[in-house]
Structure 1
Amino acid sequence: MNFKIPERKRKTIKRLYKIALVIIGLVIVIFNDTFGKLEGFVEFIALYFILVFITIAHWLFKQIKSLIRLKNEKAKTELMHLKSQVNPHFFFNMLNNLYGLVDKDSKKAQELILKLSDMMRYSIYDGEKDRVLLSEEIAYLENYIELHKMRYHKAIDIQFNIETNDTNYEIMPLLFIILLENAFKHGVENLRENAYVHITLTAHNSELTFEIENNFDETQDNPETGIGLKNLKRRLELVYPKKHTLTISKTDTIYNATLNIKGL
């Protein structure tokens, strides 16, 4: 049978214990000359200071534990906020395209709506989870690519190579979408011809590498600007501290991003 002391009574006991320590300390200081010669007084003082030390150590432990908890709660809140910012403008652009397709090609509009609803469901519900399966993240990226293929009226060389025997690794949701979205936003959208996006995802021995390369128009905006990459970098710092590297390289017309995560 478990006996649990009520919270109010526990607080009262703690308060009385602290008061008792203070009173005993004052008695020792004031009446040291009187009780100093008594047998066992030295041992009593030693026991008293041990209790004081334990009390201070317990208080410090509680303060440190409280600070860690607050830090973790703050990081979790920040992470949730960052996830909510991932790709709202993509959905906005797709809805605008759907509006124009409804009258022109209703069948294509219906297909877009179905794929878009799958993506929105994943972003809203699975995006809130701490971890998702790698296979689910891959399916999300494939839906994104298919949507863009349906959206653009030009030839795009898109290659998505997956090199792994295990897609059951658990990873942070919405991990790669910003890199893929940047490839389309800063590359495909601004190129009239010869646009390409090449993606390679490898996962072996608890290590994952996602590499994406695309060409872009050097006269347009810089692919490294915007909140997208800052968002991704901060989420990686929060979820995979000291376990990841994000390498970005750029020439006049080629942009390459490689994300590596160890210890999955």
Structure 2
Amino acid sequence: MRIHVLFWTMFIFFGVVFNVALHNQMRVTFPLFWSDLVDPLTPIGYARTILMCYLSLWIFDRLLRQHFHGLAVIVLLGLIALDVLLRYCIEQLFLGPVFGIWQYPAGIRIWAYFGETVFFSALGIFLCFLLKTINDFFHQETLRHEKVTMELAYLRAQLNPHFLFNTMNNLYGLSLTEPARTPDVVLRLGEMMRYMLYESNETYVPLTREIEYVIGFIELEKLRYAQQTNVDFIVGGNVNGVLIAPLLLISFVENAFKHGQLHEAQFPVRIELSVSKEILHFETQNRLVTQQHDSSGRIGLRNVRRRLSLLYPDKHLLRVWQEQDTFRVRLEININQSN
């Protein structure tokens, strides 16, 4: 309501200033301004304009929103004709005869009002349509941003319980077989939980923190395997000062551990991350143990694809494919978008 009052106050102020300047050789003084403002024809004219604007907004909401374009045009033309009739009745049938206030000579026909009135009525309706279009655009952008924010929060909420579920299962098994190693796993899990709970709520985090998280995950996974675990994690390029969406890479690493061959030195799980200019390159490669069908893995990949489309639209390239018994992931992100 306050915005509407402020808008119309400014609209009337500048309208009066323009009218005074137009009729006084571009000279505007306070006495001239005040005289034009208190002229009965001025508030009546602006009252008509405000009425026409809100009636046209009602038409836009009721008819254009439902795509009744032809009917909307007819109703708007009728609204302009109503404005002409309203002005004629006010000036020729009321203000003139009763108060002696005439803008046009007495007794002229209604057709004399058409030219000027139609122009300003149409201009006012067009202005309302333009303002409504701009307002609807920003409103939709706000809703879209809120939807994206809520969806990202939901996707992260799905990811965290998934990770915790797997880790707690592993922790339970380790506590039964090797209880002496359990405290190390709990400590590492606590460090990772701190990152997940407090830092990953940001839209972007330093890439170095994401790398630390991946390293922690790898070390945690190694703790629960009695056999030698063969994992090569290679980081290249200058990763300092680079930002990335949090918990974006872990789904690929988790899948590589879950489905990959970990115990043969000639077939290590290979994870590579590098930064070159404005592009972040991330790859995983693992030899498949068996053809496993795990819905949680598909959920993780769907989530990360969705997050990439929301956070890096048209700024990323993701390939996931299988070559015989080797599973590969290749991700490229234009990290300049997050800076």
TM-score (norm 1): 0.83
Judging changes above 3 Å, is the alpha-carbon distance between structure 1 residues 43 and 92 closer, same or farther for their aligned structure 2 residues?
Answer: same
- Picking from 159, 180, 183, the partner of 1:86 is 159
Structure 2 CA distance for aligned equivalents of residues 225 and 117 of structure 1:
24
Partner of 1:77: 150
Judging changes above 3 Å, is the alpha-carbon distance between structure 1 residues 219 and 235 closer, same or farther for their aligned structure 2 residues?
Answer: closer
Structure 1 CA distance for aligned equivalents of residues 263 and 178 of structure 2:
23
Structure 2 CA distance for aligned equivalents of residues 91 and 222 of structure 1:
17
- Picking from 247, 262, 270, the partner of 1:198 is 270
Report the AA paired with residue 298 of structure 2: G
CA contact (8 A) 1:218 1:252 kept: no
Structure 1 CA distance for aligned equivalents of residues 202 and 320 of structure 2:
27
Q: What does the per-residue CA deviation read over 1:135-190, in whole Å, with 9 as the maximum and x for residues that have no partner?
A: 000000000001111111112221111111232211100110000000011124xx
SS in 2 for 1:259: strand
CA contact (8 A) 2:255 2:297 kept: no
Identify which range, 221-230 or 61-70, moves more after superposition.
221-230
1:19 deviation in Å?
Answer: 1.9
- Picking from 213, 229, 233, the partner of 2:301 is 229
Partner of 1:28: 84
1:20 deviation in Å?
Answer: 4.7
Q: Which runs of 5+ in 2 are unaligned?
A: 12-46, 56-78, 90-107
More relative contact order, 1 or 2 (CA 8 Å, 6+ apart):
1
- Picking from 281, 285, 292, the partner of 1:209 is 281
Structure 2 CA distance for aligned equivalents of residues 45 and 219 of structure 1:
75
Identify which range, 97-106 or 203-212, moves more after superposition.
97-106
Structure 2 CA distance for aligned equivalents of residues 45 and 127 of structure 1:
59
CA contact (8 A) 1:186 1:221 kept: no
Higher helix share: 2
Q: Which runs of 5+ in 1 are unaligned?
A: none
- Picking from 296, 313, 325, the partner of 1:253 is 325
Judging changes above 3 Å, is the alpha-carbon distance between structure 1 residues 215 and 250 closer, same or farther for their aligned structure 2 residues?
Answer: same
Judging changes above 3 Å, is the alpha-carbon distance between structure 1 residues 229 and 27 closer, same or farther for their aligned structure 2 residues?
Answer: closer
Structure 2 CA distance for aligned equivalents of residues 182 and 209 of structure 1:
18
Identify which range, 21-30 or 127-136, moves more after superposition.
21-30
Identify which range, 43-52 or 26-35, moves more after superposition.
26-35
1:224 deviation in Å?
Answer: 10
SS in 2 for 1:156: coil
Higher strand share: 1
Partner of 1:46: 119
- Taking only aligned residues, the RMSD between alpha carbons, in angstroms, comes to 3.1
- The reply on whether 1:187 has 2:219 as its aligned counterpart is no
Structure 2 CA distance for aligned equivalents of residues 157 and 12 of structure 1:
72
Report the AA paired with residue 34 of structure 1: R
Judging changes above 3 Å, is the alpha-carbon distance between structure 1 residues 263 and 110 closer, same or farther for their aligned structure 2 residues?
Answer: closer
Partner of 2:226: 153
Q: Percent identity?
A: 32
Residues paired across the two proteins, number: 255
Structure whose alpha-carbon radius of gyration is higher: 2
Structure 2 CA distance for aligned equivalents of residues 246 and 20 of structure 1:
54
CA contact (8 A) 2:272 2:283 kept: yes
Partner of 1:95: 168
Q: What does the per-residue CA deviation read over 1:5-36, in whole Å, with 9 as the maximum and x for residues that have no partner?
A: 8469569989x654255587514157598243
Judging changes above 3 Å, is the alpha-carbon distance between structure 1 residues 100 and 200 closer, same or farther for their aligned structure 2 residues?
Answer: closer
Judging changes above 3 Å, is the alpha-carbon distance between structure 1 residues 94 and 37 closer, same or farther for their aligned structure 2 residues?
Answer: closer
